[in-house]
Every structure is written in C-alpha cells, then in structure tokens.
Amino acid sequence: MTEYFATRSRWLPLLLLVALTLLLTWPLPLNLATHSVDRQDPLLNSWIMAWEARQLLLDPRALYDANIFFPQGNALAFSETLFSVTALILPVHYAFDNALLSHNLAFLLVFFTTALGGYLLALYLTGHRGAALVAALAFAWAPYRIGQISQVQLLAFGWLPLAMIYLDRLLRSTTTGRRWWRDLLLFTFFLLLQALASFYSALFSAAACVLYAAGWGLWRGRLSPKAVAAGGMAALAVGAVLIVVAQPYFEVQRTLGAGWSRALNEQFSASLQSYRYAPALTHFWGPLTADNYYTHGLCCPPSSLFPGLTLVVLALVALLWGRGGRRWLWLLIGLSGLLLSFGPTFTMVANEPTTWPLPYRLLLDHLPGFDAIRAPVRWAVLLTLALAVLSAIALARLRRWWWSLLAFALLLVEFSPAPLRLIEAPAPFPALAWLDEQPPTRIVELPLVAERPTATADSPRQAWEQSRLLEAQFFSTQHWHTTPDGYSGYVPTRHGDFAREMRPFPSERSARLLRGLGVRYVVIHEADLNAEQMARMAAPLPAGVVELTRIGSDRILAVGPLVSTRPSEQLPLTTLPANQRVTFPLILRPTTVYVPLSRGPLAVIVRWTGANGVSPLAEQRVSVPLPLITEWVAPLPVLIDTPPAGDWTLTVSGTLPPNDPFELSQQVVVSEEAGPPPTLLPVALDEVTWEGETVALHWRSDGPLPRYYSVVVQRVDSDGAVLAEAQGAPDGNVGTLLWQPGERYGSSWTLPLPDGVEAAQTTLRLRWVDPETNDELWLWDGEAFAPTLQR
C-alpha cells in the first residue's frame, strides 16, 4: 500500500477514479439507456443536449430556436445551455441517437471529470497522491453534489480545478516564455469549458479566480504585471465567447423580463438548517440528519449542504498545522462561497429569513449577471471545493499513507449514495413512431405538458421521480417536430395564454388558433385524459380540423391552414395628463382572425412632436406583448411618458409580424387637469334578452381579463334619469378573471318599471367598474371603445 501511494504511475489513480465513478453511481452503468435518477431534470437535460448536438451539426445559426414554445424565439435560452457537457457525448449521440443514453453517459463523465479535476488540483498543490485521491472523492461526491444528483449542469465542475492549477502557475510565473503562454492558453481553455457548462458555473468560476488572485496579491503584497496581463487576456477571450453565447439570454431578459426576483433568491438561499441536512441518498448521514428536512418553498427538494465530519476536521488541521499561504487562499474561497450561499438575507431556519441583510443583496442589485442566478444556495460549490483542497493539504502535512487511507475510507462511508435509486424511463406513446415518419411540421399533444396526470407524492423528490411533465418534450428528440407547448426553467407568460386558449379544445376559437399557428397535427393521448377532458373531446370537430387516424389509445387530428390577415391599427385617445407615465392603448382590429407569429413582444417606437417640429422628450422604445389570437379587437398596452401640457402630435410606429410596418399619428391635448387614460377591455355585449322586467345579458371577451370586475346595469328614461339599477358580477358563477376568451358568459337582472312608465320609453345603460378602485372600464361597442353601452 505504501508503494501504491508513492508510485509515480499516472494510470492507477486514473483507474481508481473510473472504478469509483462506476461504484458510486451503481447500478446506473448497467441501465444507461433505460433508467435515470428521476423524471424531471434528467429528461429536460436529455432534450437540451440532444437539441444542441443536433443543431450544432445541422444549423448552428438556429441553435437557440428550440422546438418548443413556437413561435417564441430563443426558447433554448429559457434553461441552461450545456455546451461543454454536450461536447463530452457528441460521438456517442451521433452514433446511437439516444437522448437518455447520451445524458446518462454525460452523468458518469461529469462525476469522473470532477473527481479527476479535484485529484489533479490537489496533487499539484501537495504532490501527495493519497491526499489527492481523498480530495477527488471529497469534491466529486460531497453531500451538496449528491443532493443535486439529477441536475447534470450543476455536477459538471471538473474544469474549474484545472483552471485553478494554471491560474496558480501564472501567478507564480516570473517570465513570459513558451511555458507562460502555454499556461495562459490552458487557463483560458479550462475556464471557458467550465463557463460553457452553465451560467451558474461561469459566475462561480469567475468569482473563484478573482478571489484567488486577489488573495494572492494580499499574500504576496502585489500582483505582477505579467499576472495582471494574463488575467486580462483570459478575461477578454472568455468574455468574448460568453457575450456571443449569452446574447440570446440578454434578449430574452430584455424583452420578456426573464430575471429572478429577490424574493425568489431568498426562497432558494441556504440557511443554517440546510448546513445541518444531508441528502437521503447518503446512506450514513441521510437518516441521521433527516430531522432537518425542509423544502424550498412548496415546490422543491432541500439543498443538502452538510459537509460531513471528516472534511471539517481535516480542514481545521490544514488551517492550524498546514504549511504555506495557499491554504488561506482556499479559506477565502470557501468562506466566500459559504457567505454567498446564504443569499440576500441571513436565514437560520429554512423559509424564515431574518431581517439581517447580507453582501449578496448589493451584488444582486448592482452587479450584472447576479439576477440570472435563481438559487444562491449553489454558491456552496466553492465551499465544497475549498474543503476538498484543505483536506488534501492536511493529509499531505500528516504525510503517512494510512492517514489518507483512513480519510478515504471514512469519506466513502459518509458520502456513498450507492446503490442509487433509479426510475425507469417513460414508455413511448403509441403514435410516436407515426410522428417520427412525418416530415418536419408543427404539432400539439393533448393533454398539454402541464396538464398530464400526476400521482400523489409525499415529497418534492418523489414528485420529481413520478413526474410526467417532460415526457412529450423528451420524446420530441425522436421526431423533432415543433410545438407551441413545452417546459423549461423559465416559462414565458405567453405560454400560459396558449394553455388557457387550448382549454376548451375542440372549440372554434382554439381551432382557429392552431390553424393560425400552422399546427399540422393534434395528437390526443386518450389514456391520459380525465373524464371531463374525454367528454369535451367527444364534441364535434370544428371547421378546418378532421380526424386522420387512431393508433392505439392515441387519436390523431389533421389541422388545415388559416390565412391570418393584418389588422388595422388605431390610437383611440385624444387627451392625456402631463408629465406622467401612463398606459396608452394601441388598438388592433382584424378583418378576420389575426394570429401573429411573433418571436417576442412587439417593439414600438413612440415620438412626441410640437407644432414647430421640436420633440419635448427623447424617442421611447417600448416592448408590448401581442395577443396569441384576436378575433375582433385587441387593445395593446403601450407604456409611455407624456410631455408637458400643450398640444402635441403623438406618433407610434413598429412592425407587426411577420413583416408589416405601421406608423400612426394622433393629435393629443396634454393638460395638468386630465385624468389617467381609461382601461380598455376587449369585452363585447353578445346578446340582450328581456322577459318581463328581467333582462339577461351575455358577454364575450376577446382576450384574458386581468381582474375581477363588476357590471352596473341601469334602466333609464329618455332624459337619462335612472329608473332602476342593479350591480354585481357579469356572470354569477364565473368571475371575469376566470373567463375563457371567446366563450359566452352572462347573468340575469331584474329592473322593475315605475308605475306609469312604458318599457318602450326606457333604455338599458351598462358600464363595467373595478370594485377595488371604482375605476370605470371601457368596453367594445362594435366600432369603438366606450365607457357605457346603450341598448
């Protein structure tokens, strides 16, 4: 054994790490094509890697335009890209074209490469192979990482230790010869690979390098100009690549507001409780720390940050009896990871943050990139790496091989998750092979991904194991048809509108939407429908939709095309308040159904000019969400700043999809006395029927309604005097917030006539109000929006 740890052989440690990877992930190596650790992230990441592998070969320019959420652009940017992880499995994916096999192979490789990186870093720092093997085990199979075992993007940290080796060499270098350039190239290469694994790892790796270099400067009194130059060149090279890679993310964030709030950051931050919890998969510490179990909010399994005892003891040994200043650099990195993992606010008990702000809050508010991090708890990876390195420093100081053997054995007992609990991959649905035979097109599968039946689960982890959320998207790796449906780390608001519009399918409106989107087939998985959905699917099919075939329990409908005509545009208001930010409506009126194939929000340019041609305000550029479908009218909310009081010309311009430019000008009186513009609702009175003194009112909406509203129903005489009045919800059973666009809703009202007044002498006057603010709403009256409707 002494000879083993002393040998200079490079192969035995490598083979040991391979064996360790197979042992601690057992029995997955025997089930690479049939099982996974759960049915949530592994299926999502299988789809991501399969899409990246496919597009890098077929059409790199359309890499981010994934086959979900059509027509939304840059859909791949709604989740992490896994470019460097995908690169590991490209040959296997091209050879076998099996997304789950490729994912599981990547799963094994990221454990191996992380262990190898930890081993090489510790060996570089200590020269002690036994200590380096302990560091490899400590870094790759730490409880924190086992708790993230389903998220391969968070497991892929093998390149950071290699980058740290060459960063250290650059900091120590005194010359700029061939070796210096080699070290710079390798530092840049490994840092870039780590950054391309995920945006989390990009930020964490950059922070680790900055902290190490800053600590080095404090330790040695200064950084050499050569080290500063090397850092600058590496940052420029990596930054140049990341700017290109991240551009779609910036576009998504700019147009859709796809960032994470402070409240969500706090929900996914560490607490003292999380540092006392080990994952249930670790057979030793899992049961012992089970009392500290919690969830992140209501949805997600806990983060398991308990480091174990062996690593903590070894880290203390390194700090107290170690030699050299590097241990303090790793202490700096570890403590920084610990502090940042607590997020914006210090928390002792999970989900109960205190009022004590932490430095992360400043970084979140002022440093670009931090709002792309949903879970600050993941900064704990820096603490994990630091503890692994410090353990190697301690064992190298203790020297004797049996200390390393003892530590290795203790860590195996503390950290081992084997045998892993595996979940069988979902079974293909009956129509999958048929879909695979069809030319590339657009499809919709029903029920939609978020409506798939789910089993009752006792915990978030069990829910992930049983989840069916990703099935359709995972199986799309076999046919690659595009769909308006989908799931990702960020789900655009527009997709919620799509799900709402599809709820009453096969209604006429939902069919028009599918036809306008260019959907060719609807696949109905009848085995997954509940009784209500089955009853709805039994309804007659609308125009443009026919049943094509049945395959097992799958029913396939063919959908015909629909010509979507450009709508006309209107600016309805002529008065606005001065010097305020207001919502000005831009009205779209189609002659037939309008389904805009929009990759994102409508970009609107707003200009104000006076009689002399001078503009009082700078040109304003506003992103305005477009409705999925408009049948008669859509008021688009354009947020604008108004000029000082006066008579001004308001010009609004833009380009409606696919490529229809428009420009509207309107004379607007801006005054200090004017009130805020009214709220316009795409609601029309569909039918009025009288029976004696009772009137039945039926309404339709051409889009989702954002609040619960009330209607005021008045019977007035020829002079406008109110003879009878009633007020309440427009539909007594369904509040307006829950109205289905295009569907009919209504209620009846009793309006008694005074003695001596004939019904023919009266008029019905209707207006909608917001019961919370008492603001009046304008409704569609066939040709224009009006504050009241007369019938």
CATH of the domain at 746: 2.60.40
Q: Which of 318-322, 553-557, 655-659 has the highest mean pLDDT?
A: 553-557
What is the tens place of the pLDDT at every residue in 6-35? 455 678 999 999 999 999 999 999 999 999
**Structural domain ending residue among the three candidates 502, 534, 559:** 559
Same domain? 509 vs 482: yes
**Which range among 436-440, 454-458, 746-750 shows the weakest confidence by mean pLDDT?**
454-458
**pLDDT the model gives residue 775:** 87
Residue 23 counted as domain residue: no
Determine the length of the chain: 791
What is the distance between the alpha carbons of residues 513 and 702, in angstroms, rounded to a whole number? 12
What is the distance between the alpha carbons of residues 404 and 400, in angstroms, rounded to a whole number? 7
**pLDDT the model gives residue 758:** 82
Same domain? 741 vs 704: yes
Inform me whether the pLDDT recorded for 650 exceeds 50. yes
Average pLDDT value for residue range 69-86: 93
The backbone torsions φ and ψ at residue 331, rounded to the nearest 5 degrees and listed phi first, read -65, -40
* HEC assignment per residue over 564-583: CCCCEEECCCCEEECCCEEE
Q: Which amino acid is at 771?
A: P
Same domain? 371 vs 405: yes
Inform me whether the pLDDT recorded for 632 exceeds 80. yes
Average pLDDT value for residue range 631-652: 94
| Pair of tokens at residue 448 | 């939609």
Q: Which amino acid is at 448?
A: L
CA atoms within 13 A on the CB side of 765: 15
What is the tens place of the pLDDT at every residue in 284-334? 999 999 898 888 766 677 889 999 999 999 999 999 987 888 899 999 999
| Pair of tokens at residue 370 | 């931090």
**pLDDT the model gives residue 55:** 95
Cis ω on the peptide bond leading into residue 357 (within 30° of 0)? no
**Which range among 6-15, 101-110, 278-287 shows the weakest confidence by mean pLDDT?**
6-15
Sheet of 545-551, strand order: 443-446, 521-525, 554-559, 545-551
**Angle formed by the axes of helices 401-415 and 129-140, nearest 10°:** 10
More confident residue, 48 or 249: 48
Inform me whether the pLDDT recorded for 366 exceeds 90. no
- DSSP letter for 61, please: G
Average pLDDT value for residue range 701-719: 93
What is the distance between the alpha carbons of residues 223 and 242, in angstroms, rounded to a whole number? 26
Average pLDDT value for residue range 82-92: 95
Residue 4 counted as domain residue: no
What is the tens place of the pLDDT at every residue in 513-551? 999 999 999 999 999 999 999 999 999 999 999 999 999
Inform me whether the pLDDT recorded for 1 exceeds 50. no
Residue 742 counted as domain residue: yes
More confident residue, 151 or 222: 151
H or E stretch covering 748: strand 744-750
The answer to whether the Cα torsion of 442, 444, 449, 452 is positive or negative is negative
Are 501 and 629 spatial neighbours (Cβ–Cβ below 8 Å)? yes
| 23: three-class secondary structure by DSSP | helix
Strands (E), 610-734: 620-624, 634-641, 646-656, 660-671, 679-691, 694-701, 710-716, 722-728
Same domain? 637 vs 722: no
Same domain? 277 vs 243: yes
**pLDDT the model gives residue 521:** 98
Q: Which of 56-60, 158-162, 281-285, 486-490 has the highest mean pLDDT?
A: 158-162
Q: What is the DSSP string of 276-294?
A: G---TTSTTHHHHTGGG--
Same domain? 439 vs 293: no
**pLDDT the model gives residue 350:** 80
What is the distance between the alpha carbons of residues 184 and 169, in angstroms, rounded to a whole number? 9
**DSSP bridge partners of 671:** 577
Q: How far is CA 334 from the centre of its chain?
A: 28
What is the distance between the alpha carbons of residues 153 and 45, in angstroms, rounded to a whole number? 8
| 453: three-class secondary structure by DSSP | coil
**pLDDT the model gives residue 5:** 45
User: What is the average pLDDT score of the chain?
Assistant: 91
Inform me whether the pLDDT recorded for 342 exceeds 60. yes
Are 477 and 50 spatial neighbours (Cβ–Cβ below 8 Å)? yes
Q: Which amino acid is at 95?
A: A
**pLDDT the model gives residue 9:** 65
Share of the chain above pLDDT 90, in %: 73
Segments forming the whole domain that contains residue 459: 426-559
What is the distance between the alpha carbons of residues 525 and 763, in angstroms, rounded to a whole number? 51
The answer to whether the Cα torsion of 88, 89, 94, 99 is positive or negative is negative
What are the start-end ranges of the H helices in 585-692? Answer: none
Same domain? 554 vs 463: yes
What is the distance between the alpha carbons of residues 722 and 705, in angstroms, rounded to a whole number? 29
| Pairing label, strands 581-589, 634-641 | antiparallel
Inform me whether the pLDDT recorded for 135 exceeds 70. yes
Residue 117 counted as domain residue: no
**pLDDT the model gives residue 581:** 94
CA distances from residue 196 to 83, 156, 157, 243 in whole angstroms, order as listed: 6, 10, 11, 11
| Pair of tokens at residue 540 | 């007659």
Diameter of the chain measured on Cα atoms: 115
**DSSP bridge partners of 636:** 586
Share of the chain above pLDDT 70, in %: 97
Are 698 and 746 spatial neighbours (Cβ–Cβ below 8 Å)? yes
| 697: three-class secondary structure by DSSP | strand
Q: Which amino acid is at 456?
A: T
More confident residue, 221 or 131: 131
| Pair of tokens at residue 387 | 């503890």
Same domain? 489 vs 584: no
What is the distance between the alpha carbons of residues 108 and 23, in angstroms, rounded to a whole number? 11
**Which range among 186-195, 362-371, 558-567, 693-702 shows the weakest confidence by mean pLDDT?**
362-371
**Structural domain ending residue among the three candidates 393, 415, 437:** 415
Are 273 and 243 spatial neighbours (Cβ–Cβ below 8 Å)? no
| Pair of tokens at residue 406 | 């003892």
Per-residue confidence band for 720, with pLDDT thresholds at 50, 70 and 90: confident
Are 393 and 327 spatial neighbours (Cβ–Cβ below 8 Å)? yes
**pLDDT the model gives residue 65:** 95
| Pair of tokens at residue 349 | 């008990």
Same domain? 368 vs 219: yes
| Residue among 259, 253, 278, 35 nearest 147 (CA) | 278
Residue 445 counted as domain residue: yes
Residue 328 counted as domain residue: yes
Are 746 and 731 spatial neighbours (Cβ–Cβ below 8 Å)? yes
Average pLDDT value for residue range 714-724: 89
| Pair of tokens at residue 542 | 């609308």
Per-residue confidence band for 464, with pLDDT thresholds at 50, 70 and 90: low
Residue 295 counted as domain residue: yes
CA atoms within 13 A on the CB side of 536: 16
**pLDDT the model gives residue 6:** 47
CA distances from residue 32 to 87, 108, 160, 770 in whole angstroms, order as listed: 18, 10, 27, 57
User: Residue 363's CB: how many other CB atoms inside 10 A?
Assistant: 17
**pLDDT the model gives residue 599:** 87
Q: How far is CA 119 from the centre of its chain?
A: 34
**Structural domain ending residue among the three candidates 671, 706, 738:** 671
**DSSP bridge partners of 653:** 605, 663
Q: What total number of domains does the chain contain?
A: 4
Inform me whether the pLDDT recorded for 723 exceeds 50. yes
The backbone torsions φ and ψ at residue 298, rounded to the nearest 5 degrees and listed phi first, read -100, -10
| Residue among 640, 643, 636 nearest 622 (CA) | 640
Write the CATH number for 601: 2.60.40.10
Average pLDDT value for residue range 138-164: 95
CB neighbour class for 174 (10 Å; exposed up to 12, middle 13-18, buried from 19): exposed
**pLDDT the model gives residue 603:** 93
Strands (E), 337-442: 345-349, 352-357, 423-424
Same domain? 461 vs 535: yes
Q: Which amino acid is at 746?
A: G
Same domain? 630 vs 666: yes
CA distances from residue 16 to 10, 23, 112, 145, 283 in whole angstroms, order as listed: 11, 10, 10, 20, 22
Per-residue confidence band for 456, with pLDDT thresholds at 50, 70 and 90: low
**Structure-token match 């089930």, residue found:** 31
Residue 32 counted as domain residue: no
| Pairing label, strands 602-609, 620-624 | antiparallel
Q: In sequence order, what are the residues at sequence separation of 6 or more whose Cβ sits closer than 8 angstroms to the Cβ of residue 536?
A: 504, 505, 506
What is the distance between the alpha carbons of residues 450 and 77, in angstroms, rounded to a whole number? 20
Same domain? 547 vs 618: no
